[in-house]
Amino acid sequence: MKYPLIICSLVFLSFLSCKNQQSNEDIVKKDFDFAASQLAFAMTEVNKALAEDSAAARKMLVSPRTIGPDGKLKLVASRDWCSGFFPGSLWYMYEYTKDKKWEDAARKYTGPLEREKTNGGTHDMGFKVYCSFGNGYRLTNDENYKNIVLESAYTLITRYRPNAKIIRSWDHNKDKWQCPVIIDNMMNLELLFWAFKESKDSTFYNIAVNHAHTTIKNHFREDYGTYHVIDYDTITGEVLKRNTHQGFADGSTWARGEAWAIYGYTMCYRETKLPEFLEQAKHVANFIFTNANLPEDLIPYWDYNAPQIPDEPRDVSAATVTASALYELSTYDTENAAKYKKWADTILENLSKNYMAKQGEDRGFLLLHSVGSKPSNSEVDVPLSYADYYFLEALLRKQTLGQTGKLF
């Protein structure tokens, strides 16, 4: 009699597995269908904004970034750190649909960013060039794109300070910092690892690894919360100051900074297999998901120590970056894989239910309720292009992981 029971159990488990897979596919399809509609609308909004701005050509505006206080679409020039995210989102649409119209759109918005390949005045080369041309090369093998990305990597390493073993982040506020490095800079290391593999020049690898090691040493507190800005003496390598710029206080943990950290160290482990990078990513995940101020829906407040929680703005951009990182982290830390995937799935489900823009509205953005810099009262509770970019990336990773069990 036990055999029919076993058979019934296997059938039931198979049913649950199929149902779960169907559910995963449904959310990815639903959100990409929505994204297709919104991004098409966004491009009409860009054209409208350019037509209404008589100085748009002089300003060299290329990409949408957010919605301004006046309700108008805010476009930015290629030099803006956010310029690569909209073309990157279009590349993700092409990756998902394989429809040439999205490739054409992505190429249109990617092209104007080429001038950034020699812009040595910023550390944001990965955000600008790798999210745009880098995705384009990955999906098309366009040799011109490859050359552009490689040149941008060579430009980025001109900002390396060998005595401190870091890549300088900002050139502004020279009266405040000698050599500021922000946790965000971890994200630009992916460009250097790519350049090492393409060129076989170990300089890229060594700089990226040194920067990641120095950041572990100086950017983290005992609980693995991050400082935002570390100021270095470039001769001695000594830490001069530990500050914030976009978080609540110098000693607080800015939510998107923590997201950059989990993403950055997960990626560094992928590229190096150095165990300390995996351990760091695991520690950061533990900080986020055991934090007493993390809301039940896992969409964090803009700072984990913001004073008016629970009446503080959420930061959807921190959630999307974290979700994308968690899917990758689940492929390396198998002991905790199910937990990471569950957290990432929960984030995407809650974003889909409660944080989406309205179709045909909100200037074509996908997600609402992100925070750029609350201390500056800038971009508070608004859509942001990078929240959309990492949302689509997380959806693609969820789909790929479900279909193949791996990402890379």
Please enumerate in sequence order all residues whose Cβ is within 8 A of that of 274, keeping only pairs 6 or more positions apart, or say none.
209, 268
Q: What number of other Cβ atoms are within 10 A of residue 312's Cβ?
A: 19
- Choosing from 33, 99, 104, 124, which is the catalytic residue? 124
Residue 124 a catalytic site member:
yes
Rounded Cα–Cα distance for residues 283 and 260 (Å) = 13
Q: Six-digit token pair at 23? A: 């559910």
Q: Residue 241: left (phi > 0), alpha (psi -120 to 50), or beta?
A: beta
Residue 53 a catalytic site member:
no
Cα of first residue to Cα of last residue in the chain, in angstroms, is 46
Please enumerate in sequence order all residues whose Cβ is within 8 A of that of 279, keeping only pairs 6 or more positions apart, or say none.
none
- Choosing from 184, 303, 362, 388, which is the catalytic residue? 184
Rounded Cα–Cα distance for residues 162 and 203 (Å) = 11
Rounded Cα–Cα distance for residues 198 and 62 (Å) = 28
Rounded Cα–Cα distance for residues 285 and 347 (Å) = 14
Residue labelled with tokens 């959309």: 388
Query: Cα Rg for the chain, rounded, in angstroms?
Result: 21
User: How far, rounded to the nearest angstrom, does the alpha carbon of residue 118 sit from its chain's CA centroid?
Assistant: 23
| Catalytic residue annotation | 124, 184
